[in-house]
Amino acid sequence: MRKTAAWLVRHALEQIGVRYTFGIPGVHNIELYDELNESESIQPLLVTHEVGAAFMADAVSRTSDSIGVLVVVPAAGLTHAMSGVGEAFLDGIPMLVISGGVRTDLTQGFQLHELDQQALMRPLTKATYRIESYDEVVPTVYRAYRKATEGEPGPVYIELPANLQLLSGEVGAVPPFSHQNVRPVLDPATIEAAVELLSSAERPGIFVGWGAREVAGEIRRIAEHLGAPVATTLQGLAAFPADHPLHTGMGFGPASVPAAENAFENCDVMLAVGTRFAEICTGSFGATPPEKLVHVDINPVALGRNHPTSVPIHADSRDAVPAIAAALLAKCPARDGTAVKGAIAADKAAWIAEWLAHDSGDRVNPGRFFSSLRSRLDRDAIIVADDGNHTFLTAELMPIVAGGNYLSPTDFNCMGYCVPGAIGAKLAQPDRQVVGIVGDGAFLMTGLETVTAAKNELGVAWFVFNDGELSQIAQAQELPYQRKTCTGVGALDYRMLSAATGCEFVAIENNDAIDAAIERVIGLMAENRPVVVDVRIDYSKQTRFTIGAVKTNLKRIDKRNKLRMISRALWRKVKYR
């Protein structure tokens, strides 16, 4: 039969269960967009910028069983999207990136968008493919999907030359899709060794990341049996419910909240699941696990990379964690975790009380804001944060309870994620509440995607923490430099922007306005109306993450340079007083 490559790609995407594609049509993918428009199961979504498309696709993958897909033009479309693709790559998020390619049936050089797309995308993806013939199209899409979703997930790139999309050609029988998820073989000896170590612990602790999100119930069984505190990574905030009495918070070292730092202070055996002990989740590598470490991860490179590991377990957490739980419960009696739970509860209560007592002047107190927001949202609400100071305020003050989701850029640490990410999450989960927490600087990067939300009548709210600075970096500048450079952002009238983009507008100017404003926002969301909320946030109290990470980095500096930096800071403090 004769088919175009555009038809074949559409067919393959339908077979693997794709629900949305994101991007902007151009001369090199116009045929593919026309085919997608004919699909009864796929909705192609126009964005304002390809980086927004990548973040939307990322969020679809994080919040559903459908893979996020980009359909972009080559060259500029790909380079615009690369930040979002890079975020998915370092965060372990599956994604299909499909771009057009220059014509292969022409002999002329210097075609529009002519660039080595394969070399461009290779460092940011698990694999790259360039389709050369019609018979390759469907098998390549299937192969790319398997590559993106197996092992540690990540993005995969497919280049589809424009002439194969435009012109029809002979193709053999179109193969059916059969996805067999290949997992590492679980070694029973490692499970036995892990159980032996955990059962001998006097003060066990559990640290879970994104890779543990599907085994939260089994983690709970292990934690309750051992009476062990549970901390999470930033990306894994929803991997263990914050309302469980053994939950301590994000991280476990000097950059973590008191409940976590105290609970893990004398931890002698740790079970770590689905975490790479990367820079963010360890507070700039300031959190060190005990020597007796059981580490489960789908990526063998992560095992022993940053810390010696007593029992490395290369496995899917869905296989390893239930096996550990069953063997542990059979081997040793349950322990009384009353004292641990009591200490965690006391530390958490003192922590929120400290925030509520902080004088925020005429601005919005973060503790009061998050307490009000949490009490008014559904338990399964999806929280999408961006990158900045607000990220760690959210991590420390906004409990992600059972059934909820938390999304944010992590290891690539890319600003601009929240606005499009919340759109992708709402598309994937239309019946759930989706709210974004975004700094004013990050909002300026992708804020025009609010047009996309309004156009598609998506009831999403973005709480813009508006303080006029790139606060995370401004705070990092203030102490060592005694001045701030290039961290003040331009003023934006959020009311006018909301009107211009078709969104509703709500202002929260002080503590007295918090409750009524959040109630109104939730009502507007329920009416499928996107909302931009201008929150005059108070950033005068630093997060534990910021304080701890700064201290950790200062300790690494040698005495000579430390003295130089302190002398400079003191001199500037006197000079600019």
Give all strands of the β-sheet with 127-130 in edge-to-edge order.
Answer: 43-46, 20-23, 68-72, 95-101, 155-161, 127-130
Question: Is the pLDDT higher at 559 or at 93?
Answer: 93
- Amino acid 92 reads G
Residue 271 has pLDDT above 80, yes or no: yes
Q: What's the confidence (pLDDT) of residue 402? A: 87
pLDDT at 577: 64
pLDDT in tens, 157-177: 999 998 888 888 989 889 999
Residue 566, pLDDT > 80, answer: no
Q: Measured at the alpha carbon of residue 518, what is the angle toward residues 512 and 519, in degrees to the nearest 5?
A: 105
pLDDT reading at 192 higher than 80: yes
Q: Inform me whether the pLDDT recorded for 573 exceeds 80.
A: no
For position 186, what pLDDT does the model report?
96
Angle subtended by helix axes 471-481 and 559-575, to nearest 10? 90
Spatial neighbors of 453 by CB under 8 A, at least 6 apart, are: 422, 423, 426, 460, 503, 530
Query: Alpha-carbon distance 91 to 78, whole Å?
Result: 19
pLDDT band at residue 569 under the 50/70/90 scheme = confident
pTM of the model: 0.95
Beta-carbon neighbour count of residue 349 at 10 Å? 11
E-assigned strands of 258-363? 269-273, 292-297, 311-314
Smallest CA-to-CA distance from 120 within 89, 71, 82, 73 is with: 82
Backbone torsions φ then ψ of 469, nearest 5 degrees: -140, 160
Based on its alpha-carbon atoms, the radius of gyration of the chain, rounded to whole angstroms, reads 25
So what's the pLDDT on residue 305?
95
- Per-residue pLDDT of 407-440, as tens digits, reads 999 999 899 999 999 999 999 999 999 999 999 9
Query: Given this model, what pLDDT does residue 155 score?
Result: 98
pLDDT digits (tens, 9 = 90+) for 198-253: 999 999 999 999 999 999 999 999 999 999 999 999 999 999 999 999 999 999 99
Average pLDDT over residues 472-492: 80
- Strand 68-72 and strand 20-23: pairing? parallel
Name the pLDDT band for 8 (thresholds 50, 70, 90): very high
Q: What is the pLDDT of residues 41-68, one digit of tens each?
A: 999 999 999 999 999 999 999 999 999 9
Least confident of 132-141, 174-183, 236-245, 396-405: 174-183
Indicate the average pLDDT of the chain. Answer: 94
Whether pLDDT at 487 is above 80: no
Mean pLDDT of 258-270: 97
Identify the structural domains of the chain with CATH numbers, from first to last: 2-170 (3.40.50.970), 188-343 (3.40.50.1220), 358-545 (3.40.50.970)
- The one-letter amino acid code at 532 reads V
Q: Which of 428, 429, 386, 388 is nearest to 408 (CA)?
A: 386
Lowest mean per-residue pLDDT among 77-86, 147-156, 353-362, 486-495: 486-495
**60 near 428, Cβ under 8 Å?**
yes
Q: What was the pLDDT predicted at 115?
A: 86
The C-alpha angle with vertex 378 and arms to 374 and 382, in degrees rounded to 5, equals 80
Burial (CB < 10 A; 0-12, 13-18, 19+), residue 456, is middle
Res. 559: pLDDT tops 90: no
* Confidence at residue 179, expressed as pLDDT on a 0 to 100 scale: 80
Nearest to 461 by CA among 422, 500, 490, 496: 422
What's the pLDDT band for 127 if we cut at 50, 70, 90? very high
Say what the pLDDT of residue 112 is: 67
User: Among 113-117, 129-133, 415-419, 491-495, which is the least confidently predicted range?
Assistant: 113-117
The DSSP symbol for 94 reads -
What is the pLDDT, as a whole number, of residue 178? 87
- Classify 396 as helix, strand or coil: helix
- The pLDDT value recorded for residue 170 is 87
The yes-or-no verdict on residue 390 having pLDDT over 80 is yes
Half-sphere exposure of 136 (CA within 13 A, CB side): 12
Least confident of 59-68, 189-198, 460-469: 460-469
Residue 570 burial class via C-beta count within 10 angstroms: exposed 0-12, middle 13-18, buried 19 and up: exposed
